[in-house]
Amino acid sequence: METVLGVFSSRDRAEGAVEELLRSEVPEQDVVFLSRSESQTKTVARQFTKTLGELMGIATGASAKVVALTMLVPEIGTVFGLGLGAAALLGARVAESRESKISPTPVEKAPEDVAFFRDVLKQGRSLIVVRSESPKTAAVACRILDRFGLGMRRRASNQTQVSARTVQGISILAVSGRITLGDGNVLLREAVQQVIEEGNNKIVLNFREVGYMDSSGIGELVRTMTTVRRHGGWLRLVAPSKRVRELLEMTQLSAIFDSDPDEATAINSLAAKGPSPGLV
């Protein structure tokens, strides 16, 4: 399963992304929109419904159905969601009606990515998440969300490499090249999985030599953080390159990930850490 993530502050760009995803034959069941803004969600829902209707040959789109959710999320408040996958992301079941209200209890355990998505939503941004088993679908979604959500242009980069070593019981993963769909994202995933299987759950990602990340790379970074948290561990980024740092700041993910200027600082920080609270 590939996860591609787009972060939005503009309603118009979110609308445009939804329309192009559907017109590019990304299945509607693979697309999820999450926002704290009811007005933005209603506008995107209208675009969602209109585009589905046109693709189904319905002139008005009146018969095209989009699942709409209103969720009361702990520590955030009301969150609005569109798409069948929104319920899966929140571990909830959708009723037959077009609109459902879900109120998770404080002790309800969230799916692995939801804790991260909550953090992003706290920053006042909206999200489009595409999850697909199809590499082709993920690649199409990645190109679209790069253009509409991230606003960054792909540039040439060296082949991706990940090297691992251990210092004071902390795993250091030095990544170089790019983290993109079908390339660096898989290498990063496999490297993280290997160190966790070896029993190490304190991980430093050295991104000094990472020249580029696309929407899939952002999704992989989310996966990495939630995987480490699920195993009671901690993750820190070291020296992200200027381009990656700008990307994290643009999407406000810089407020989510702990970052250090060098490996020594990150190691000192993690050395004193006990088990993380994980995902709750």
CATH number at residue 181: 3.30.750.24
Task: Give the least confident one: 2-16, 73-87, 206-220, 230-244.
Answer: 73-87
Is 141 in contact with 132 (CB distance < 8 Å)? Answer: yes
- Phi, psi (deg, nearest 5) at residue 211: -90, -20
Residue where a domain stops, chosen among 150, 177, 203: 150
- Phi, psi (deg, nearest 5) at residue 117: -60, -35
Rounded to whole angstroms, the Cα distance separating 64 from 45 reads 11
Question: What pLDDT digit, counting tens, does each position of 129-149 carry?
Answer: 888 889 889 889 988 888 887
The label of the residue with tokens 């079941």 reads: 93
Q: Residue 280 domain-assigned?
A: no
Which pLDDT value is given to residue 64? 63
Boundaries of domain holding 245: 161-271
- Phi, psi (deg, nearest 5) at residue 48: -55, -50
Question: What pLDDT digit, counting tens, does each position of 98-137 carry?
Answer: 444 444 433 344 444 666 677 777 777 888 888 888 988 9
Q: Residue 238 domain-assigned?
A: yes
Residue 150: pLDDT band with limits 50, 70, 90? low
244 pLDDT higher than 60 = yes
Q: How many domains does the chain have?
A: 2
Spatial strand order of the sheet with 161-167 comes to: 161-167, 170-179, 202-213, 234-238, 259-260
Q: Residue 279 domain-assigned?
A: no
Residue 203 region by backbone torsions, left for phi larger than 0, else alpha for psi between -120 and 50, else beta: beta
Please tell me which residue, 250 or 26, carries the higher pLDDT value.
26
The kind and range of the H/E element at 18 are helix 11-23
Is 204 in contact with 269 (CB distance < 8 Å)? Answer: no
- Indicate if 10 and 138 belong to the same structural domain: yes
Instruction: Give me the chain's average pLDDT, please.
Output: 78
Q: Residue 278 domain-assigned?
A: no
Q: Residue 90 domain-assigned?
A: yes
Q: Residue 277 domain-assigned?
A: no
